[in-house]
Structure formats: structure tokens, C-alpha cells
Amino acid sequence: MPNCEYCGVRPVYPGHPYCGRTCAGEAKNARSQRAPRSRTMDNSGLCAYPGCTRPPFSSRDPYCGQSHDEEDEDDADECILCHNNPKAEGMHFCGRTCDQRATRQAPLILRISENDRKFGDIADQFYKSWRHRGDKYPRPDIHQIYKIIQSKELMDDYYAYRDFVEDEGDFTQRGLAPGNERRRWHGTRRACNIGDDPRRTRLCDSDRCGVCGIIRTSFSLSRVGTTDRKNNSFERFGKGIYASSTSSKAHDYSKKTQVVPSQYLSMLLTTVVAGEGFKLMEDDQTLDGPPEGFHCVLGEVGDRLNYDEIIVYEEAAIRPAWLVIYDKLE
């Protein structure tokens, strides 16, 4: 049975695209509150429609003409790989063939249309979890969202770990996702312009690029802090993999570490097997894992921490799911 189109983790209610009334209602709100389509011009000098090499119609219109503008609006239900057939129910692809083809081509990123329900879902989470306030942190607009496709081996390891944690905790019996899976934000260094332009989605080979490295091979404990020691050297809860429900907190790491000229920044939306979380409000840099009986550490808001963190110490517990490209805040 496919997963809910909104939360992406719980199975759908038979005959419906969502797992229940809550997700159905939130999906409806996300579509109605979604920001209007960005018509921002990039620096490529080409039409914004994926694959088109013609110039924009004018300096104020990113498309070469009305047909590509309208086609870009109509692609919400298209398979994100072949763009020839409608998506199968509960999938991003038209069927198993394109799904398996994408996995064989992994690692890669695939653009999600701004009219896609999933775009609205992710944008809604990004905007609502932007909790920093003030002129220093104006909420940016999203430019592009991409689905991250990783190898079958990496995903098999993740699902095996999720099943293991679920067997230990019976989270679905409590009305939670399998393994208490959550979506959390992660900011890291970007040393290339991947995703700025939908035509430029090839991963770079730089060892300094945390974004492409994570998309290619997922998170590695041996690489924690290595892409930018100056800004990421403080490991409040030991050497683990950090993420947050607060997009503006992840933005702090994205903005401090980007090293290429761009009008955009990037952020990863991950899936994390949280399991049973051990809550901490005081720093403990000696940690190399949660106490026995727990699967992660939860940094709680208090005197030492302004915004939440989740820390996992198993590489199989977290995978990058989405790449979000958003306006750079000056």
C-alpha cells in the first residue's frame, strides 16, 4: 500500500491519497496558502522550462513564450522522470519502470513542479518552521524543490534500520509512523550551483561540497564537521548527525558555509528514524550515542538551546529526501 501523499510516511486510507482526515486537511491548507509561483529570472539567459534552450520572452518573463509558461503549470501530475505519463497513485513516478530506472541512475535529483502537491507540502513545512524573527531573518521564498534519489543499497539499509526500530518500539501501534520517522531540516556547505537552474542538476565532485556528498552517499559520521570546521566544530551533543524541525536553524548552517557565488541557498529535508528520543537540555559533548533503550538524542529548547535539534549516531538512521533551493537573504 502506498504512503500518504502529504506526510509521506503513513500508509494511505484505502481509496484515498492521504492517511486520514488530518493530513487531508493540512494538504488542502498547504495548497491554499502556498506562495505564488516564483517568476525569478536566473542568470542562464535561457527559458525557465526544463530542457528548453530558447531565450526568455523578455527581461521580466523567465519563459520563452506562453506555451512553456502554461506547460510548466500543467506538469503537476506528470511522472517526475519521463514527464510523459501521469503519476501512479501514491508515487512520484508513472509506475514501477520509471521508479526502478531512477534508482538505477542514482544518485540524482529530480525537479518537482511548483504545482505539485508535494511542492506545496514541503514549502508549507519550510515556511511554518521558519521560527527566527526580526529583520535579520526575513523568511525567504523557495525557488526550486528536488526529489533526491539514492541507491537501492543506501535505501535498503535505511528501511532495514527503520524496521528494526519499529520492532523494538511498536510505534505504529501508538499512531506514529514506522520507527517514529520524522522529516527534519539539515543545512550544510554547498560548493557548487546544483539546483539553481533546473537544467543544472549534476552532482559536483568537490570534497568540500556537503550537499552533493550527502546526496551521493548519504550522511557519514566520519565526515561530521569536515566540510567547514570553522562553523560546524561545536558538537553540542557529541559526534552525531544533527537535524532540526526548524528550517531557519538549518539556514544558519547553509548561509555560513556556502562558498560559491549564487543568489540562492540550499537546504536538505531529511527523513530520520527517531525511535525513542532521549531529551537533553544541557550540553554533553562526550556523547557517542543515546543511553540504552533510546535511539536518538533530542536537544530541547531551554537556557542552552534556542531551537530544537535531533541527533542520531547511526548512519542508517537518516537519509536526505529533498533538496530545497531558496532565495539568499542579504
Nearest alpha-carbon partner for 322 in 95, 177, 69, 147: 147
Q: Where is pLDDT greater, at 37 or 190? A: 190
The share of the chain scoring above pLDDT 90, in percent, equals: 60
* Per-residue model confidence (pLDDT) at position 196: 95
pLDDT in tens, 214-239: 999 999 998 776 655 454 456 889 99
* Per-residue model confidence (pLDDT) at position 39: 44
pLDDT in tens, 97-128: 999 999 999 999 999 999 999 999 999 999 99
pLDDT in tens, 165-218: 999 999 999 999 999 999 999 999 999 999 999 988 999 999 999 999 999 999
**Residue 82: Cβ-neighbour burial (10 angstroms; 0-12, 13-18, 19+):** middle
Residue 164, CA distances (Å) to 34, 181, 252, 273 in order? 37, 12, 33, 10
pLDDT in tens, 119-155: 999 999 999 999 988 777 889 999 999 999 999 999 9
- Concatenated DSSP letters of 140-199: PPEEEEEEEE--HHHHHHHHHHHHHHHHHH-GGGGTPPGGGEEEEEE-----S-TTTSTT
Alpha carbon distance 170, 167 (integer Å): 6
- Concatenated DSSP letters of 213-248: HHHHH---GGGTTTS-HHHH---TTSSSEEEBS-HH
User: Judging by DSSP bridges, how do beta strands 277-280 and 296-299 pair with one another?
Assistant: parallel
Please say whether the beta carbons of 180 and 165 come within 8 A: yes
pLDDT higher than threshold 90 for residue 61:
no
Q: Which CATH architecture has domain 106-327?
A: Alpha-Beta Complex (3.90)
* Per-residue model confidence (pLDDT) at position 37: 43
**C-alpha grid cell, residue 312:** 542520531
